[in-house]
Copies of this chain bind each other. A is one copy, B any other.
């Protein structure tokens, strides 16, 4: 264990001890490294610098592990997704290795609430608040690393892709429950990279704040829909759908514009029918609760299907005989100032993780592109795909087993 890791472990221990001493009822306010949404009392603890940081600030997600953080980690409140391209003239395997070594070291420290070596802003890193970093490799980086080639995401007929949201050589997904920490962490990683890669785009997003959600609660998008109900929740499901044998996964990013102006013209019934689920609880229109199986055979008193076969839910479900057509959705909302046309500028930074997009994302999206009642109000305007290297041990850097051979 490095000195840094020891330091963090000690802080956690102190936090746990003080919580226990206070009252049994304080369990709900524990400062243990819990999923986002499961902490957030101002009771606080004495930090190593003599300042009191409330519990959400102290909450951390482990950086090292079999897999990278930020994939099956419960979605935090804030996202900065930054696409980087290699500098002109390109980057060789050695350059990519140097960048990964430097990024990993800094990300690991920031994740634990410690300042990166040489940082002049230690005040800005003290509240990790479930900060996570996830690195992804675009096709050129995959080639440099000698990893298995990435699947290509085909063009879909309804796509209106804008070049500015396109494929990049690298991506950093930075998530956390504190917007100031996420902002500083992003700034730090961007300024560390310019010898090798510079940012091409940044996609910022948000969900409910930690402290307004129950642990495990499915987030809502700006159409008011619960988004992510059918996600893999058990380790077994995640192994089936998300993780490759080497611990890696593949991320697909789609920027989806949502036409709030037109959507809001609909009554609630139409909104629910286009989705196939109720807006309040997210239950299938055939009844039950959010996590109950839809009954696609159910009919109303006129003999019509209760769940429209063209609804988003019906079209997104795995095709018969293809149970592999599932994935982990980890989408964030965006809501920006209206552009010159005065219309809403809102939507989804749709992010999903899977073993193989050719067998998971792509056939599902092809089906939605062919027919989905939601298509009237959504447009895909960005697309990219990244290989997410496996997780790290304490003394290793991202993709080390691929780059350092």
A-to-B contact residues, CB < 8 Å: 22-26, 28-29, 37-44, 49, 52-57, 77-78, 120-124, 127, 129, 177-181, 183-184, 186-187, 191, 198-199, 201-204, 206-215, 219-220, 222, 224, 260, 264, 267-268, 271, 279-280, 333, 335-338, 342, 344, 346
Contacts and interface: CB of A to CB of B under 8 A. Distances in A.
Contact of A214 (B24, B54, B187): B54
Given A220-B124, A220-B180, A333-B183, A42 B52 contact: no
Q: Can you tell how many copies of this chain the complex includes?
A: 2
A275 to B, nearest CB: 13
Contact of A183 (B121, B186, B222): B222
A213 B183 contact: no
Given A206-B179, A338-B202, A211 B55 contact: yes
A204 B78 CA distance: 14
Contact of A121 (B40, B179, B212, B224): B224
B214 A44 contact: yes
A38 B52 CA distance: 13
Most buried by B among A42, A53, A336: A42
B40 A56 contact: yes
Most buried by B among A77, A181, A187, A335: A335
A260 B206 contact: no
B28 A43 contact: yes
Contacts of A184: 222
A201 B337 CA distance: 7
Contacts of A41: 28-29, 40-41, 211
A198 B41 CA distance: 39
26 contacts: A23-B23, A23-B25, A23-B26, A41-B41, A41-B211, A54-B211, A56-B211, A57-B213, A78-B179, A123-B220, A123-B224, A127-B208, A129-B211, A177-B211, A177-B212, A178-B212, A179-B179, A179-B208, A179-B209, A181-B208, A183-B206, A184-B222, A187-B260, A199-B337, A209-B211, A211-B211
A208 B78 CA distance: 12
A42 B333 contact: no
Given A23-B23, A29-B29, A42 B53 contact: no
A39 to B, nearest CB: 7
A239 to B, nearest CB: 28
Contacts of A199: 337-338, 342
A184 B100 CA distance: 39
A204 B207 CA distance: 15
A28 B42 contact: yes
B120 A39 contact: no
Contacts of A338: 199, 202
Nearest to A210: B211
